[in-house]
Structure 1
Amino acid sequence: MNDPPVAIDLFCGAGGFTQGLKNAGYEVCWAIDSDAAAVEAYQENHNHEVLPEDIRGTEPETDGPDIEPGELDLIAGGPPCPSFSMIGRSKLDSLEDRGASEDERNLLYRHFLRYVAYFEPRAFVMENVPGLLRDTAIVETGVIQQLLPVDPADESAEKRVGQEVPVPDIILDEMRSLGYHADWQRVDAADYGVPQHRERVFFIGVRDNDELPDLSRWATHREPRSDEETKMRVRSEPGAFTQTPQTSLTKEEALPPFEADRNPGEPYLTVADAILDLPPVSPDGEMPPVQATSYTLPPVSPYQQWLRDVPRDETWDEQELRNHSCRWHNHLDLSIYKLLGHGVGWNIGEVSQELQPYRDDVFRDKYKKQNPAKPASTILAHIQKDGHMFIHPTEARSLTVREAARLQSFRDRYWLPESRTKAYRLVGNAVPPRLGEAVGVAIRKGVLEET
């Protein structure tokens, strides 16, 4: 039996990408992140080294994993680039005397490429937000050589010095200067079995003699073709709703396996598929309570059963439920939540400014109730500030951490901090494990097993 491909995870966060790669058959042996809460969550969920450092102060040859250059199969990661995000750009531009272009975190991807340059993996994958595709930058003399070794005879990286060019072109020039065939692909997580519309860009690089995988070929889900296909899937196996111990569904039983050119695929997983089995909670703390620590219903959909990850020979009512508590809401928020229909968002200009919680020169629409018959809207780290964009479809409140995690495809036994603020941020910033798995399978089957 062949050994599994070996990977490392840079800017690992809470470990969503790592979990996806593990599900895809990789051995992830090392990770790095500077966020203390992310490192704690990562360590709780993964049994290998994670370096709690700012990557800018590290050297791959001394601080990285004990692996020789050329022996690593994959480097994965998602360097934060706040100005590439619409919310990130608005927030930075609103700060006095500071614009998004001045934020040094925009250059963190070069530190990702430093590790690529040193370890020379067979492939790499770098995740980022679609806003990056709209950004431009002035190419400065020598800027590429600041961090990366570049062949002096190769003028491609410096050919547009002084010109304003698309940021993706600059990044691809730098990747190709390291000897990789590289390009970017834009995908929606809902196409891969995540119950959430979440568009992301993946830069993938492979050695020049390898062919880049086409991520679209590995999609498992699609738009529903009828109202019937939007209904929550209900478990139908014998004894599905009995109290007797039973083995949890495997991933393959709950979700279709990743196969190239699947046709026609399954209808999108929805908010109902993901969260409507969880017990009700409320901000007032009476009935329902503020927090629920146990399940009151069995899992209704196959996806819910897979998410619960009940240990073998246990019943669902014996399992502890974590991170399912309701944040406090004032009466104005609760009243507005009740007014909204499923999937409705109020936009600036449509209602009085008195009903808007945000500045109208920074944010555009910010009250949104999730539609149970569709995938959720994109779960963002901003959920740590308030939940106006993430209102529960049937209860007058915002989503709990556990509900947000499920919409990101984290299973219920995946450890997250008890602090809601920290947990919301980690969940909102994470690569959905199911999406990470799709990317990992595409690279493993399309590149690593073909050479």
Structure 2
Amino acid sequence: MTDDRLTAIDLFCGAGGLSQGLSDAGFETLWGIDHEKNTKPTYEANHGCEMTVGDIREEEPPDLGLEKGELDLVAGGPPCPTFSLVGKSKINSLEGRDNQSDERHLLYEEFLRFVDHYQPKAFLMENVEGMLSAENENDEPVVKTIKEQMRGERQVADLDLDLNYTVRVQLLDAADFGVPQHRKRLFFIGNRIGADNPDMVEWQSHRSPRNEEEKKIKYKQDPSKRSSEDQHTLEGFVEEEEEREFPTFRKDIDSKEPWNTVADAILDLPPVSPDGNTPPTKAEEYELGPISEYQYWARNLEEEADWEDQPLLNHECRGHNMRDLTLYKLLGEGTSYIIGDIPEEHQPYRTDIFPDKLKKQNPKEPATTIVAHLYKDGHMFIHPNEARSITVREAARLQSFKDTFEFPVARTHAFKQVGNAVPPLLAQALGTAIRAEIFDRPVQEQELQKAD
């Protein structure tokens, strides 16, 4: 660990999207844990720390070689399917058991148990948008209850915890932070050192497009030829905003970029059936160099490196039957991107229930939310130009994993890991804001990349 890096642990770490983003923001993850054994090969292939496979409810916090209170950040996203949206009194009818026989804690309570053990200076907890409307057994908002528990104003089940954190809760869309995907997630940011928790609206780097021109693929340009459309005034001096490399996260950026789109993210990747195989299989070599700014970033090439020597990892999709391939071909610009708008006689599903069961991704927009269910069903993530569902690598690009991030597991496991992850770019934005506003230690991007 370099002196400039802060320490963190990642609970419910999965493949490590949160760990990756925090690393890019200047944190060193010391340990991770997840219950899914298939995440271990992926996590350990991409991160330089120990990862435990186990049930967090049965695990004691490990010795990190730090005194209590020295850990900088506890981060993690308790899985939403296990989080009760209705409270323990209603678990009985939902799960067929009573509270006496159910010795489990709600998994977010395990997150708080680890916070209590380490007493970190700050924490970052992620969960689903649906938590905002959830209520407990007393018809109280779940988010309000959790905030009170984090502040030490309410007991956490039967646990004797010492929590005294100021907390900010925000719903964020990953597209506002450079991720080529609309993905709304809820984040709890807390600290116990008297700092103001960041308002992530002030850290947004991207915005909705203002016109059709801004929806087109954003080709990478020579930085010397780029100019900023806005200027800002500081104490009477007018300064032109300096050119920014992607990604750049700063508070109150004057000129935000238009959202990154599906085209920006994946259209440099080759077809998966270059020999005309049916069903589509996979491709293992790049055929073109990167085109957009996002693609240059995703390739993660060393300066002056030859892209032709870079291996193409995980560029593989599931097979399809001819009926599916024909339906996929039917969708797109000039017809509709969702099957619900196609004439009724060609509908494979009831359109009153599944109008978007088949959805081709629009190349001029950010992708729809990548989900873990993609490993079972790819119909909602059809390639914009090819009659097939997207590959693992394309899903990873849309989640903002770089091409050098490897998923050394079976395709089904890889899809699930990608869909469950926190987008690394969103995590990097959060980590950068936490580093700057809570720890007063701005990120020096180039130095930190060298430290990696």
Q: TM-score range by the shorter chain?
A: 0.7 to 0.9
| Secondary structure class of the residue paired with 1:293 | coil
Aligned to 1:155: none
Q: From 356, 381, 388, give the equivalent of 2:349.
A: 356
Aligned to 2:450: none
| Secondary structure class of the residue paired with 1:32 | strand
Distance change (3 Å), C-alpha of 1:97 and 1:437:
closer
Are 2:260 and 1:269 aligned? yes
Moved more, 434-443 or 170-179: 170-179
Are 2:130 and 1:131 aligned? yes
Structure 2 Cα separation of the partners of residues 112 and 97 of structure 1? 24
Are 2:132 and 1:108 aligned? no
Structure 1 residues 174-204: Cα deviation after superposition (integer angstroms, max 9, x where no partner): 1111101113100000000100000010011
Are 2:421 and 1:422 aligned? no
Report deviation, 1:341: 2.2
Distance change (3 Å), C-alpha of 1:357 and 1:278:
farther
Report deviation, 1:164: 1.4
Are 2:73 and 1:66 aligned? no
Aligned to 2:42: 41
Are 2:401 and 1:410 aligned? yes
**8 Å Cα contact 1:391-1:399 kept in structure 2:** yes
Q: From 337, 343, 346, give the equivalent of 1:344.
A: 337
In structure 2, give the amino acid aligned to 1:374.
Answer: E
In structure 2, give the amino acid aligned to 1:236.
Answer: Q
Moved more, 423-432 or 276-285: 276-285
| Secondary structure class of the residue paired with 2:151 | helix
**8 Å Cα contact 2:259-2:366 kept in structure 1:** yes
Moved more, 314-323 or 429-438: 314-323
| Secondary structure class of the residue paired with 2:172 | strand
Structure 1 Cα separation of the partners of residues 307 and 279 of structure 2? 20
Report deviation, 1:329: 1.0
**8 Å Cα contact 2:280-2:320 kept in structure 1:** no
Aligned to 1:317: 308
Aligned to 1:171: 146
| Secondary structure class of the residue paired with 1:448 | coil
| Secondary structure class of the residue paired with 2:393 | helix
**8 Å Cα contact 1:85-1:130 kept in structure 2:** no
**8 Å Cα contact 2:82-2:106 kept in structure 1:** no
> What are the residue-to-residue correspondences of 1:131-150 with 2, within 5 Å?
131-138=130-137
Could you tell me the TM-score, scaled by structure 2's length? 0.82
Structure 2 Cα separation of the partners of residues 54 and 114 of structure 1? 14
Aligned to 1:242: none
Structure 1 Cα separation of the partners of residues 363 and 105 of structure 2? 36
Aligned Cα root-mean-square deviation (Å): 3.2
In structure 2, give the amino acid aligned to 1:186.
Answer: L
Structure 2 Cα separation of the partners of residues 320 and 70 of structure 1? 43
Distance change (3 Å), C-alpha of 1:357 and 1:319:
farther
Structure 2 Cα separation of the partners of residues 82 and 113 of structure 1? 18
Structure 1 Cα separation of the partners of residues 289 and 8 of structure 2? 37
Structure 2 Cα separation of the partners of residues 316 and 432 of structure 1? 24
Structure 2 Cα separation of the partners of residues 18 and 84 of structure 1? 22
Percent of paired sites with the same residue: 51
Report deviation, 1:389: 0.7
Structure 2 Cα separation of the partners of residues 377 and 400 of structure 1? 15
Could you tell me the TM-score, scaled by structure 1's length? 0.82
Q: From 281, 288, 301, give the equivalent of 2:292.
A: 301
Distance change (3 Å), C-alpha of 1:236 and 1:287:
farther
**8 Å Cα contact 2:83-2:106 kept in structure 1:** no
- Where do 5+ consecutive residues of structure 2 fail to align? 153-162, 224-242, 443-452
Are 2:15 and 1:14 aligned? yes
| Secondary structure class of the residue paired with 1:435 | helix
**8 Å Cα contact 2:21-2:424 kept in structure 1:** yes
Structure 2 Cα separation of the partners of residues 403 and 187 of structure 1? 23
Aligned to 2:58: 57
> What are the residue-to-residue correspondences of 1:252-291 with 2, within 5 Å?
254-282=245-273, 286=277, 290-291=281-282
**8 Å Cα contact 1:191-1:221 kept in structure 2:** yes
**8 Å Cα contact 2:363-2:384 kept in structure 1:** yes
**8 Å Cα contact 2:180-2:399 kept in structure 1:** yes
Moved more, 435-444 or 46-55: 46-55
In structure 2, give the amino acid aligned to 1:65.
Answer: L
Aligned to 1:190: 175
Distance change (3 Å), C-alpha of 1:324 and 1:165:
same
Are 2:365 and 1:390 aligned? no
Q: Which segments of structure 1 move beyond 3 Å, counting only runs of 4 or more? A: 83-86, 96-99, 101-106, 282-285, 311-314, 346-354, 357-360
**8 Å Cα contact 2:84-2:106 kept in structure 1:** no
**8 Å Cα contact 1:84-1:130 kept in structure 2:** no
